[in-house]
């Protein structure tokens, strides 16, 4: 599995010949981001920073788009969506994705002070957590660290901070998490055995947009 960050809450996850795009930035957004073909696109919020399935469509094939709560199985990948809200009250979907023996959780633009009960109960074994830290319509760095610890993930990947008017968010989050010495990397390559011994390790992915 290879994970890269493409700005805002936009992540690309590749595994074998499959590509998953999470919260792709729309071509119409003011945020410049990547364009590539994806097999599956997960949309947490219906706005230009998250609903860019247009930016991850191939000329010969559109991705399978999931844009709300529910349970889905696509090409052997199991996906669950849980309803939540942004800080401003917009509907937001938290997604969990089970693949390659690992459980990933994408909070999207989650902005509430506490996790919805249904989401918390269903996400007790998360290997990799993607959490927004930049404030605005989502969690700020302080609340993000508190929410992240509730999942007890093996790896935490911060999002929603580059180009979001939150230059100090990453520094604050790393301090709160006791990970001030962490340096950003361009991609994260993982197998199940790589995460088994980890507990709450923070990985910062620089945007490749």
Distance CA 129, CA 123 (A): 10
CA atoms within 13 A on the CB side of 114: 4
Q: What is the mean pLDDT of residues 82-97?
A: 94
Instruction: Determine the pLDDT at residue 150.
Output: 86
Q: Categorize the per-residue pLDDT at 208 as very low, low, confident or very high, splitting at 50, 70 and 90.
A: confident
Percent of the chain with pLDDT over 70: 95
Given a cut of 90, is residue 42 above it in pLDDT?
Answer: yes
What local confidence, expressed as pLDDT, does residue 162 receive? 66
Range 44-56 average pLDDT? 93
pLDDT at 60 over 90: no
Q: How would residue 102 be classed by pLDDT, with cut points 50, 70 and 90?
A: very high
User: What stretch of H or E contains 194?
Assistant: helix 192-195
Per-residue model confidence as pLDDT tens digits over 139-161: 999 999 999 988 899 999 999 88
Alpha helix stretches (DSSP H) within 44-186? 117-122, 141-151, 169-176
Q: Which CATH class is domain 2-202?
A: alpha beta
The per-residue pLDDT for 207 is: 87
What value does the mean pLDDT of the chain take?
91
- Among 192, 193, 12, smallest CA distance to 102 is for 192
Extents of the domains making up the chain: 2-202
Strands 155-159, 128-132: pairing is parallel
Residue 52 has pLDDT above 70, yes or no: yes
């Amino acid at each position: 599995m290879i994970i890269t960050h493409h700005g805002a809450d936009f992540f690309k996850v590749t595994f074998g010949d499959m590509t998953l795009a999470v919260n792709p930035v729309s071509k119409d957004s003011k945020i410049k981001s990547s364009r590539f073909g994806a097999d599956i696109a997960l949309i947490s919020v219906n706005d230009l920073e998250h609903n860019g399935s247009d930016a991850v469509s191939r000329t010969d094939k559109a991705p399978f788009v999931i844009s709300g709560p529910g349970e889905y199985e696509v090409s052997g990948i199991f996906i669950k969506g849980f309803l939540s809200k942004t800080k401003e009250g917009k509907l937001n979907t938290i997604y969990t994705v089970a693949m390659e023996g690992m459980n990933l959780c994408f909070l999207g633009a989650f902005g509430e002070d506490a996790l919805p009960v249904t989401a918390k109960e269903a996400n007790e074994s998360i290997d990799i957590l993607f959490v927004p830290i930049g404030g605005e319509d989502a969690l700020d760095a302080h609340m993000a660290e508190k929410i992240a610890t509730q999942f007890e993930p093996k790896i935490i990947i911060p999002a929603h901070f580059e180009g979001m008017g939150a230059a100090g968010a990453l520094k604050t989050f790393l301090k709160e998490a006791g990970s001030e010495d962490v340096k950003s990397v361009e991609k994260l390559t993982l197998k199940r055995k790589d995460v088994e011994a980890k507990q709450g390790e923070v990985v910062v992915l620089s945007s490749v947009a």
